[in-house]
Amino acid sequence: MAYIRIEDQSKVVIPQNPTIGFIEGDGIGSDITKVAIKLINSSVESSYHGEKSIEWKKVLVGEEAFQKTGKHLPQESLEELRKCIISIKGPLTTPVGEGFRSLNVSLRQYFDLYANIRPVKYFPGVPSPVKNPEKMNMVIFRENTEDLYAGIEWRYDSPEAKKLRRFLQDELGVKLTEDAGIGIKPISKFRSTRLVRKAIDFAIKNRRRSVTLVHKGNIMKYTEGAFKEWGYEVAAKEFADVTVTEEQYLQNPNAYSNKIVIKDRITDNMFQQVLTRTEEYDVIATTNLNGDYLSDDLAAQVGGLGLAPGGNVGDIYAIYEAVHGTAPKYAGMDIANPTSIILSGAMLLHHLGWDLAADSLERAVEQTYKDGRVTQDIARLLNKKGLKCSEFGEEVEKRIKPS
């Protein structure tokens, strides 16, 4: 086994045959994850002919881990994911309102995977609810570790909520009603800045045209508004030679035609802009809750969550994932759509720097849709019979060609 190494504290060194972790996932996880792994292997083999390969290490998390160890997220699994550095995961069950904390949130916080990256683009052949879905080609960078998602909240009748309500009234003169639960929304300079930095870095490496900061700063001035300010600040301080603000750009577009335009939009406006002026947006950097809503909205425009890939990425560690849930009603039936986790696998390959394999996998998926070979979730919209999950995998495999 050859693990990915860290040198000089932050340099990630990828061997030719790295050990990559995989979490199979609950529900439909076992169906879709095995298809994705097979296709990732095939695209690597077809592009590098044995010179590079992945050694997969199964890591137990979720229901299978609970059955075997009594814990959903055993310490040994965290250690294994730490050793692998880069991993991929199927969906994991989270009970609503009770039980254990979301495993996804726990993993993101444990490994400080501060950027949730969600590329959204259209594949011809996929039915869409909008007229020109091909205009969509955006990549969302959603802050992953703070905001209302930080898990700092108390039930309305808890001693903590009572204490906090008393403190707010006595010390700050803010009166809440006795039946109010309380959640805290932390947004910090350090975490906002590193997220926007990652989004701009991505825009530079991938020759993107703009980075839009999405915020609700008109109402939440010191959290969402501050996110916007810090975003512009990092662009000006660290990327002055390659970026320009939208305000400057509009004064003289010709002078700045090769610069990345930094703009901002208020969240509610952004929700209609992505429908009415889709082609004007490219990379998006936003806070946690905004990003959660916006990424599903964009995915819906190009055919739904079953197709949307995603990755949770920090400065060192990364976990790529199927972004949809466990779809329990399809568990074990071999009929779920594996596209999300397959394309997340392509993102993982890009992360390794294995772009030839990543591109060949993406192209094979695109061609499969163009040829009308689809699973039941898409087939039912086209009034035709769908392929099984494993059959869809075979169709993609047939179309994998070396780059």
Contacting ligand NAP within 265-324 (CB under 6 A): 305-306, 321, 323-324
Nearer to ligand NAP, 220 or 300 (CB): 300
Minimum Å distance from CB 324 to ligand NAP? 3
Q: Mark residues 104-143: x for contact with ligand NAP by CB under 6 A, - for none.
A: x---------------------------------------
Supply the minimum distance, in Å, between the C-beta of residue 86 and ligand NAP. Answer: 17
Contact status, residue 378 vs residue 322, Cβ threshold 8 Å: no
Q: CA triplet 239, 113, 96: central angle to 5 degrees?
A: 130
Residue type, 231: G
Which of the residues 20 through 79 are near ligand NAP (CB under 6 A)? Answer: 28
Stretch that binds ligand NAP, among 86-94, 137-145, 259-267, 269-277 (CB under 6 A): 86-94
In sequence order, what DSSP letters do the residues of 378-389 get, joined into one string? HHGGGTSPPBPH
Residue nearer to ligand NAP on the CB measure, 226 or 341:
341
- HSE-CB at 126 with a 13 A cutoff on CA atoms is 29
> In the complex with ligand NAP, which residue's Cβ is closer, 305 or 358?
305
95 to 24, 100, 101, 127, 326: CA distances (angstroms): 18, 7, 8, 31, 12
- DSSP-based three-state secondary structure for 338: coil
Region for residue 334 given its phi and psi (left: phi exceeds 0; alpha: psi -120 to 50; beta: otherwise): left
Does 390 interact with ligand NAP (rule: CB under 6 A)?
Answer: no
Among 21, 91, 133, 393, binds ligand NAP (CB under 6 A): 91
Q: Are 21 and 80 in contact (CB under 8 A)?
A: yes
Binding of ligand NAP by 393 (CB under 6 A):
no
Q: Which residues are catalytic?
A: 149, 216, 268, 292
Measured CA to CA, the distance from residue 7 to residue 130 in angstroms comes to 47
Under 8 Å between Cβ of 20 and 345: no
Dist CA 110 CA 22 (whole Å): 17
Measured torsion, CA atoms of residues 217, 223, 229, 234, in degrees rounded to the nearest 10:
-140
The region of 7-15, 88-96, 185-193, 254-262 touching ligand NAP under the rule CB under 6 A is 88-96
Q: Which is nearer to ligand NAP, 104 or 210 (CB)?
A: 104
**In this structure, are residues 176 and 168 in contact, taking their beta carbons and an 8 Å threshold?**
yes
Residue 63, class by beta-carbon neighbours within 10 Å (0-12 exposed, 13-18 middle, 19+ buried)? middle
Q: How far is the CB of 124 from ligand NAP (least distance, A)?
A: 20
| Tokens, residue 314 | 């920090």
- Closer of 234 and 361 to ligand NAP (Cβ): 361
Among 33, 43, 87, 93, contact with ligand NAP (rule: CB under 6 A): 93
Burial 366-382 (b: 16+ CB within 10 A, else e): bbbbeeebbbbbbbeee
CB of 305 to ligand NAP, least distance (A): 6
User: Between residue 182 and residue 201, which ones bind ligand NAP under the rule CB under 6 A?
Assistant: none
The site string for ligand NAP over 9-28 (x = CB under 6 A, - otherwise) reads -------------------x
**Which tokens in the block code for residue 57?**
């290490």
**Alpha-carbon gap, residue 210 to 259, rounded angstroms:** 8
**Residue at 147: amino acid letter:** D
**Chain mean position to CA 66:** 25
Assign 177 to helix, strand or coil.
coil
Q: Minimum distance between the CB of residue 83 and ligand NAP, rounded to whole angstroms?
A: 22
Q: Least distance to ligand NAP from the beta carbon of 377, Å?
A: 4
Least Cβ distance, residue 136 to ligand NAP (angstroms): 19
Binder among 327, 342, 343, 349 for ligand NAP (CB under 6 A): 327
Contact between 92 and ligand NAP per CB under 6 A? yes
Site for ligand NAP (CB under 6 A): which residue of 85, 86, 336, 352?
A: 336
Separation of alpha carbons 216 and 224, rounded Å: 5
Residue appearing with tokens 């504290």? 9
Among 143, 377, 395, 397, binds ligand NAP (CB under 6 A): 377
Region of 67-75, 218-226, 233-241, 325-333 interacting with ligand NAP (CB under 6 A): 325-333
- The per-residue DSSP string of 86-113 comes to EEEE------SSSSSPPHHHHHHHHTT-
- Based on CB atoms, which residue is closest to ligand NAP, 340 or 360? 340
Please identify the residue of the shown chain whose CB is closest to the bound ligand NAP: 325
Which residues of this protein are in contact with ligand NAP, per CB under 6 A? 28, 91-94, 104, 305-306, 321, 323-327, 329, 336-337, 377
